[in-house]
Amino acid sequence: MPRAFSELTFTPTVRAHQERMGSAKTYAKFIEGGPQQGHLIGDPEKAFIEARDGFYQSSVSEIGWPYVQYRGGPVGFLMVLGPQTIGYADLSGNKQYISRGNLDGNNRVAMILMDYANQRRLKILGRAEFTEGEAAATSLYPDGAETPAERAVIIHVEALDWNCPRHITPRFTEAELRPHLNTLGQQLAQLLAENERLKQELAKPD
């Protein structure tokens, strides 16, 4: 866990609970001294982020209630624009605008990006900035999107952390399964052809 992430998340009440549960000493090294780390997007993070077809994003309303929304699109719709900047075209949805409204009052976001197939996840903390209008999102509009964009969303990253893979149940998208299904399909076709050949051989008179 990098220092930047723990500085934002290990609040006094969190530290107090860590003390009660006996884990405070383990995590002390992430908040006491040492170089600042975990606030920049490196090559592994960039590759991971841009390979995703969706992520979970949380915001908080002005009355204190958190709200988690799933944002999805074609692979690559979430783009790394710099070492502390992520952007995406906000595609038109059901027009409830709960996240959008929440972020007008508090622009902090927490994001969780999942790779279920390889049991990996990346947590990101940042602040959201919007430029309204479809034209503003032109440079971020992904190939293969099926709906228009309503705005450009820029996330200014303040911290990120690779999360523990424990308890992530492997799941696979059709795209992830397709190479394996194609191989199985070829093998099945070969077996069927061989089966038909053997049937014809057995049907021949002695």
- Given this model, what pLDDT does residue 32 score? 74
Nearest to 150 by CA among 190, 94, 112, 205: 94
- Given this model, what pLDDT does residue 204 score? 81
Residue 85: beta bridge partners? 82, 156
Give 19-38 pLDDT, tens digit per residue.
Answer: 999 999 888 888 876 677 89
Give 130-157 pLDDT, tens digit per residue.
Answer: 999 999 999 999 888 888 999 999 999 9
Q: In this structure, are residues 187 and 195 in contact, taking their beta carbons and an 8 Å threshold?
A: no
- Given this model, what pLDDT does residue 173 score? 87
Question: Hey, how many other C-beta atoms are within 10 angstroms of the C-beta on 103?
Answer: 22
Instruction: Report in angstroms the alpha-carbon separations of 22 from 7, 11, 26, 28, 161.
Output: 19, 16, 8, 11, 22
The label of the residue with tokens 């021949």 reads 204
Give 81-109 pLDDT, tens digit per residue.
Answer: 999 999 999 988 888 999 999 999 999 99
Backbone angles phi, psi at 59, to 5 degrees: -140, 175
Residue 115: beta bridge partners? 120
- Given this model, what pLDDT does residue 206 score? 66
Tokens of 199: 């049937």
Nearest to 128 by CA among 148, 100, 149: 100
Domain 38-162 -> CATH class = mainly beta
**What angle is formed at CA 2 by the lines to CA 34 and CA 57, rounded to 5 degrees?**
150
- Given this model, what pLDDT does residue 110 score? 97
Average confidence (pLDDT) over 112-134: 95
